[in-house]
Structure 1
Amino acid sequence: MSTAPTPAPYDPAPGTEYSYPLSDYARATARSLGAGWDSESSYLGGWGLIFTTDDRVSLRLYVDGDGPTGDLMIGDRKTGDEHLVFFERLPENAPHTPEEMSEWGDALALFVLSLGL
């Protein structure tokens, strides 16, 4: 019988592991995309909308619940197409400051632009 102590389960305090809800990522993305883009928050910030003010593009930023870890996705609300956001294109860690959130917004804006919408 092992006498080694059992490690405590990982249980970070609220707001320490992930400081921002997904709707903040959508808002930062719209800011990075510039004039003619806007965003809206979902219930409790669980996902966010990114759209053009002329209603030409409407995207939903969300985490896909399929699979063991979930994937960051951008869904085109007009065509139904879904696009996996590759983690290689994103900053390494979750943002904890407004500056880091801006970096995420810039990276996600570049991804949106790469879709050619």
Structure 2
Amino acid sequence: MNTTTAPTPYDPAPGTEYTYPLSDYARATARSLGRGWDAESGYLGAWGLIFTTDGRLSLRLFVDGDGSVGDLVIEDRKTGDEHAVPSWHLPEFAPRTPDEMREWGEQLALFVLSLRL
């Protein structure tokens, strides 16, 4: 292939393709769930914990690397049950502003409540 016509490989600068780490999604979800909920960051923000402050529930929000469950997953840490978050349940694009992150948190909170854990 002629190098003068080769397409430039897609290589976005850090923080431009995905502005927020996944742990921020967990924090936004806990804020949307309200009093009695909190969140913690996982390793390097690559996942997040969403939990009740009374210890009743502990959920891990992560991306399923092999796609066997779904892309975005909420795992009940006590039972090991994994629940794929349907993409139709979420905003169309990754959040780039605090308002968009709040919207993601609200939608993820609704999904958590729908699980009836």
Same fold (TM over 0.5): yes
Instruction: Describe the superposition over 1:21-49 as per-residue Cα deviations: whole angstroms up to 9, x where unpaired.
Output: 00000000000000000000012100000
Task: Tell me the percent identity.
Answer: 76
Q: How many residues matched?
A: 116
Q: Which residue of 1 aligns with 2:26?
A: 26
Q: Distance in 1 between matches of 2:20 and 2:116?
A: 27
Following TM superposition, where does structure 1 have runs of at least 4 consecutive aligned residues deviating by more than 2 angstroms? 1-4
Distance of 2:92 and 2:67 partners within structure 1: 21
Deviates more, 1:6-15 or 1:21-30: 6-15
Partner-residue secondary structure (3-state), 1:59: strand
Q: Which residue of 2 aligns with 1:101?
A: 101
Unaligned runs of 5+ in 1: none
**Which residue is 1:114 aligned to?**
114
2:78 match: 78
Query: Aligned partners of 2:107, 2:114: CA distance in 1, in Å?
Result: 11
- Equivalent position SS for 2:79: coil
Q: Distance in 2 between matches of 1:24 and 1:113?
A: 19
Unaligned runs of 5+ in 2: none
Aligned to 1:87: 87
TM-score normalised by the chain length of structure 1 = 0.93
Q: In the alignment, residue 73 of structure 2 is paired with which amino acid?
A: M
1:4-43 superposed matches below 5 A? 5-43=5-43
Whole-Å Cα distance in 1 between the matches of residues 112 and 16 of structure 2? Answer: 28
- Find the residue that maps to 1:11 and give its secondary structure: coil
Is 1:51 the equivalent of 2:51?
A: yes
